[in-house]
Amino acid sequence: MKVMVTGGAGFIGSHVVDLMLEAGHEVIVVDDLSTGRQSNLNPGAKFYQVDIRSPEMRDVFAEEHPEVISHHAAQMDVRRSMKEPLFDADVNILGSIKLLELAREFGTRKFIHISSGGAAYGEPIYLPCDEDHPVRPLCPYGASKYTFELYLYMYKENYGQDFTVLRYPNVYGPRQDPHGEAGVVAIFSGKMLQGLPVTINGTGEQVRDFVFVTDCARANLIALEKGAGQVYNLGFGIGTSINEIFQTLREITEYPQQADYGPAKAGETFRIYLDASRAKKELGWEPTFTLHQGLTKTVDYFKMAEMGMEK
């Protein structure tokens, strides 16, 4: 089938593109390269360098008529959303609605929306959070991701537009940007491999649900045919602290230094991990990479691709 992956030159989106192509699907990538990288693009996909908010998107739909959209294009930085909530809403809500309108107009069968399990629930009432947990985000990013989920429900009820929502945990792995503000595994790995100081924001006892990128990408492949009109958490269902991530990466990289500690960042949940039992039951999805396996693969990638070092 013909699948459009928005944000397909980005960290997670590019892995989705790879799996879709391996499965024999025709893939269209839409990415404005504001955060995505040309080097992440799979040559087997057709590429359009377009912002999802641009009028040019109509031309892309008219040319390609995608059957399914896997929507990864987003403003994905929690800290930027705190500083620039209008920009966050413009991309994640208005940009997504524009895409959804085009999907309806051009007869796209299904819309797979990448939402946030890490930011939408806010500070949990209970753990692990299942899909019925109240949504009480602490940052505009979490709010914008959840808001678009409501539009998908409305479009299904009013227009019959099929959808599946995947609420991602903290995703890490190869191609994650080690120079940005988001992605603690990539940031720590990059600094450790260069022998630079590593700063942990807050106490380091913040807890997250870390899942390797290939596992999350695989959920998109499954959602092409399953999960109609449903919302799914992805996750291990157990939490790992930032201090634990630091110590494990320290062992893998043989990093000799201890961490520095700085102030905590506003808008970030302290403890969150997700119950993905619905995804296991209805999609047949569960993580296959252990944390240590995933972290080792990530470090190996940065040694080769990012740092120019030998394994």
89, 93, 98, 103 alpha-carbon torsion, rounded to 10°:
160
* Integer Cα distance of 73 and 91 in angstroms: 8
Helix (H, G, I), strand (E, B) or coil at 301: helix
* Integer Cα distance of 36 and 169 in angstroms: 20
List of residues 6+ apart from 196 with CB closer than 8 A? none
* Integer Cα distance of 176 and 171 in angstroms: 9
For the chain, the C-alpha Rg in angstroms (whole number) is 19
Cα distances (angstroms) measured from residue 77 to each of 91, 139, 140: 12, 10, 10
Evaluate whether 297 touches 212 at the Cβ level (below 8 Å): yes
Active site residue 141: yes
Beta pairing, strands 207-208 & 240-241: antiparallel
Instruction: Output the six-digit token pair for 111.
Output: 């819309």
79 C-beta neighbours (distance < 10 Å), count: 17
* Integer Cα distance of 135 and 40 in angstroms: 33
List of residues 6+ apart from 39 with CB closer than 8 A? none
Question: Which one from 48, 141, 155, 168 is the annotated catalytic residue?
Answer: 141
Evaluate whether 166 touches 115 at the Cβ level (below 8 Å): yes
Catalytic residues: 141
